[in-house]
């Protein structure tokens, strides 16, 4: 479908050259259609970007583990609980389009207000709140100490993973994606274990 092709081409171009450096004309040329034909599918370049961001969140959350399932996984053991979620995340992130979109919103975040809001809300606020719920659940189950700030605990964990993404997609770019994901898994596991060990009930 032409609409899907426009989206695919836009993801490729935005991730390689930056959103501001890609015109509707260039997108149309890469797709192989007239510039005016783009508007039969998207009202503007901004609406293409909005669709890309919506797609990213939809893909990242569609296999999200509900709190009830997280509770059952915690009953099996903390390591099992964490690894299930980590593998789901790594599998989704390893998809080429998801890697490219991650780079788009990271490199554009310093000057694009729409992307800044995207990072503030679903990428940071929503994700941190999810971890707050999980750590609260761990408190209820007697797995971690009940004193202490759960939100700070959640931020301490989650923001480390966000730093690893920034390091890969900006600081070390271009870098082998497969190698990064392997290292991301190991570093995330070690970091989470460090946090858990500091608050677990012995």
User: Is domain 45-199 annotated with CATH 1.10.3720.10?
Assistant: no
Distance CA 5, CA 3 (A): 5
Q: Give the pLDDT of residue 54.
A: 96
Distance (Å, rounded) from C-alpha 55 to C-alpha 92?
A: 12
> Domain-by-domain residue ranges, the chain?
1-43, 45-199
**Confidence band, pLDDT 50/70/90 cuts, at residue 158:** very high
Spatial separation of the C-alpha atoms in residues 2 and 9, rounded to whole Å: 10
Q: 43 is written with which tokens?
A: 């009202």
Would you tell me which CATH number, out of the four given (1.10.10.60, 1.10.3720.10, 3.30.1490.20, 3.30.2130.10), belongs to the domain 1-43? 1.10.10.60
Nearest alpha carbon to residue 104 among 25, 50, 149: 50
Q: How far is CA 185 from CA 7, 93, 98, 104, 162, in A?
A: 29, 12, 17, 22, 13
What is the distance between the alpha carbons of residues 198 and 74, in angstroms, rounded to a whole number?
Answer: 18
User: Would you mind telling me the total number of residues written for the chain in this entry?
Assistant: 202
Does residue 63 surpass a pLDDT of 80? no
Q: Looking at the whole model, is its pTM more than 0.85?
A: yes
With pLDDT > 70 as the criterion, what percentage of the chain qualifies? 100
């Amino acid at each position: 479908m032409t609409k899907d092709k426009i989206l695919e081409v836009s993801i490729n171009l935005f991730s390689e050259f930056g959103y501001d450096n890609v015109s509707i004309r260039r997108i149309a040329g890469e797709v192989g259609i007239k510039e005016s034909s783009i508007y039969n599918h998207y009202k503007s370049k901004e609406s293409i970007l909005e669709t890309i961001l919506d797609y990213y969140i939809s893909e990242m959350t569609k296999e999200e583990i509900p709190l009830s399932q997280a509770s059952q996984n915690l009953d099996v053991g903390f390591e099992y609980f964490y690894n299930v979620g980590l593998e789901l995340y790594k599998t989704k992130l390893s998809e080429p389009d998801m890697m490219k979109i991650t780079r788009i919103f990271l490199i554009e975040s310093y000057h694009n207000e729409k992307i800044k809001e995207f990072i503030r809300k679903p990428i940071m606020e929503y994700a941190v709140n999810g971890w707050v719920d999980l750590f609260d659940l761990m408190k209820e189950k007697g797995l971690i100490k009940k004193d202490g700030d759960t939100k700070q605990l959640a931020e301490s964990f989650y923001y480390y993973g966000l730093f690893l993404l920034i390091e890969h997609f900006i600081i070390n770019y271009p870098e082998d994606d497969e190698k990064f994901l392997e290292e991301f898994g190991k570093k995330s596991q070690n970091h989470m274990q460090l946090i858990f060990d500091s608050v677990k009930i012995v």
